[in-house]
Structure 1
Amino acid sequence: MKKKVFALLVLAAFFLSHDMYLKLDTFFLEPNTSATIQLFNGTFDKSENVIDRDRMIDASLLGNGERFKVAENQWSEKDSITFLNFKTGEAATWVAGVSTKPRNIEMDAEAFNGYLRHDGVLDMLKWREENDALDKDAVEKYSKHVKAIFQVGDKTSEDWKTALGYPIEFIPLSNPYEKHTGDQLEVKLLFGGKPLANQLVYANYKVTENHHSHSEEEHGHSHEGSAHSHEDEAHSHEDAKAHTHNEEVHSHDNGEKHSHSHKKEEAGHTHSHDGGEPHSHEEEEHKDDHVHTDGQQLRTDVNGVVSVDLSTDGIYYLRTIHLAHSDEEGLTHESNWATLTFEVVHGHSHEEDTHAHAHAEEDEFPTYIFWIGSLLIIGGLFWWFNKKKE
């Protein structure tokens, strides 16, 4: 019995692998000011543990064509979050990147299958199913390579398209800060410096406080008082943090413990995942089809490109895990994880504002005509009364 319970705990532990993200409270910063980037290791909403500096092969900031190595004293830690403290430079579209050393992890067959399903590494899971390998244990070498693109000041630059030379990395094909809500952004995925075709990529977003959705406008949905409001729905992107990590053990990073608590509703035990529909643990207990692959599920084309729908104002994040068999002694697999974060807002050009303002003035009765007419009437009455007295 104890052996069975332990096996279930191990399986549950690997159902919670660690993605890594570089995040900012806002991706729009002022030039030459102090700023902070957060390094999350866990989910996009919650970091489970800090990242030691000796794990980082590279930590860089890139702007105006110059790449800066992050110094040791620029890092700090609080709770489970690692902070990069820096001063922004001149106006430009900046890039931040972190690449980690590889580590090894051993998993029994059941835990490995659960991890593949949970994190959406579906091609490897399919291979194992088709090749009668679902009962095979795994020893995986993994490393993580993460980037964030942020805008400093009003002037954009070409830094967003610079490859940092990581084993795997996302590179947009156009500047995210020249895109707006309702647009699409094409992003290329490089592996070993070459386009990676036929790779699964997941894209999602976290809505900002005053978000604006083109898809809702097109279908006549209101942002306020609507049954389809992101703020009001049970699967709100702002509030759906019901699936946090505070109790279970997971070791897809450094073997540290973290939790997996669930938000309790009045009528039962439900939880949701980054905007997904709430569902019950009474229905899903012991199921192994429990996955964390919400958002857009994309696959790179022959040129390694995916097209991401920017349907709503918010902070967007892309993630992928490239997992392959390994011939290295003592290993069965090797994985490289990549994420990219940036922010998208609804764009209003000065020309549009000027045009709208001009139309508003054309439609209104000019104020100066009213005052001239009033003065003429008053003057006429004054003249008439004076003449009548004579």
Structure 2
Amino acid sequence: MKRLISMVLLLAAYILFSSHELFLKTDSYFISPKTSSELYLYNGTFDKSENNITRDRIQDSRIIGPDFEKFMKEKDYYDKEKSTYLKFKAGSAGTYVAGVLTLPKMIEMDAKAFNDYLEHEGLEDTILKRKQDGSFTHGAREKYSKHVKLLLQVGDKKTEEFKAEFGFPVEFIPVNNPYEASAGDTISFKLLSNGKPLPNHIVHYSTSMPEKDAHENESSTRTDENGVMTMTPTQSGNWYVATIHMVKSQEKGVDYESNWATLTFGVK
């Protein structure tokens, strides 16, 4: 029986590892005004989706642009292979931002699986705290939810909508418009937790490269005292910033609560 439970926990950990991040993407981050496009959710890695997102998990989904705000409804979604797609028609020229928030799920792992997962995701602060408080040898029940955003440039006109706050538990807000930057320029993002800057927090960023998973090429940095991180896209292409904010939970039956955030954008 113990062996069966251990196998189940390890299987859960494997599923979490192989489907660890959620990204909101599109084929082209640069489109013309008044044209139709598709956004899609990749649940897995930046380069491969492992499974669809069921509609009952999506709590908030919207797109904001100049004189444009659309709340996505169930009819706007459809599944294709292992990705979830959103139908979208742009309005006038400007910088658009889209976001999707998912409802929490629970997962339980034994100590080794949980610690391996923390190491895999670069959650070194949580590992240190577990060692300090004596919980490193204990399993854990974690409640996690994912919050994803995408920046889209419609036409040539750059507008201020890129700064829109969605009120997600954790989210990235660009400090400067990424579409005013090119490869080699620095771009800054403010990381918010419940609307407040999250200082000294680890953030990862990367882009796809031929025959390589973007996760293999990730770089990491920390936000400063104002919750701001800065990265330099080294090449044109589709980029992301990502983080996980994990804290001890006060909820009965839950050891940790984590909020995952990603933001994707294009670089010319």
Interval of TM-score (by shorter of Structure 1 and Structure 2) = over 0.9
Aligned equivalents of 1:159, 1:178: Cα separation in 2:
13
Amino acid at match of 1:147: K
**Which residue does the alignment assign to 1:189?**
191
Instruction: Answer with 1 or 2: which has the greater Rg.
Output: 1
Q: 1:93 to 1:113 in 2, by over 3 A?
A: same
Alpha-carbon distance in 1 for matches of 2:197, 2:96: 23
Are residue 239 (structure 1) and residue 218 (structure 2) matched? no
SS in 1 for 2:18: coil
**Secondary structure in 2 matching 1:49:** coil
Deviation at 1:71, TM superposition (A): 2.1
Shift of 1:324: 0.3
- 1:57-87 Cα offsets, whole Å, 9 max, x none, are 1100100043210122111101110000111
Give 1 or 2: higher strand fraction.
2
1:126, distance to aligned residue in structure 2 (A)? 1.7
The structure-2 alpha-carbon separation of the partners of 1:13 and 1:74, relative to structure 1 and needing over 3 Å to count, comes to closer
Residue 118 of structure 1: aligned partner:
120
CA contact (8 A) 2:10 2:109 kept: no
Distance 1:10 1:82, change over 3 A: closer
Normalized against structure 1, the TM-score is what?
0.65
Q: Which residue of 2 aligns with 1:301?
A: 224
Aligned-residue identity in percent: 45
Return 5+ residue gaps in structure 1 as ranges. Answer: 207-236, 241-272, 277-293, 346-390
Q: Deviations over 1:303-330 (max 9, x none)?
A: 0000011211111101100000011111
Q: Is the 8 A contact 2:171 2:192 kept in 1?
A: yes
Cα contact 1:138–1:333 (8 A) shared by 2: yes
Gaps of 5+ in 2: none
Trace 1:40-189 onto structure 2 (pairs within 5 A): 40-189=42-191
Distance 1:152 1:10 in 2: 41
TM-score scaled by structure 2?
0.94
Displacement of 1:12: 4.1
**Is contact 1:203-1:316 (8 Å) kept?**
yes
Q: 1:103 to 1:15 in 2, by over 3 A?
A: closer
Secondary structure of 2:126's partner?
A: helix
Q: Give how far 1:11 is off.
A: 5.1
Structure 1 counterpart of 2:3, one-letter code: K
1:340 maps onto 2:257 in alignment = no
Report if the CA contact (8 A) 1:15-1:114 is conserved: no
* In the alignment, structure 1 residue 25 sits paired with structure 2 residue 41: no
Aligned equivalent of 1:253? none
The code of the aligned residue for 1:295 comes to E
RMSD over aligned Cα, in angstroms?
1.9
Deviations 1:94-119 (A, max 9, x none): 01100011111111111111110111
Corresponding residue pairs, total: 266
Secondary structure of the equivalent of 2:214?
Answer: coil
Quick one: which amino acid aligns to residue 330 of structure 1?
A: G
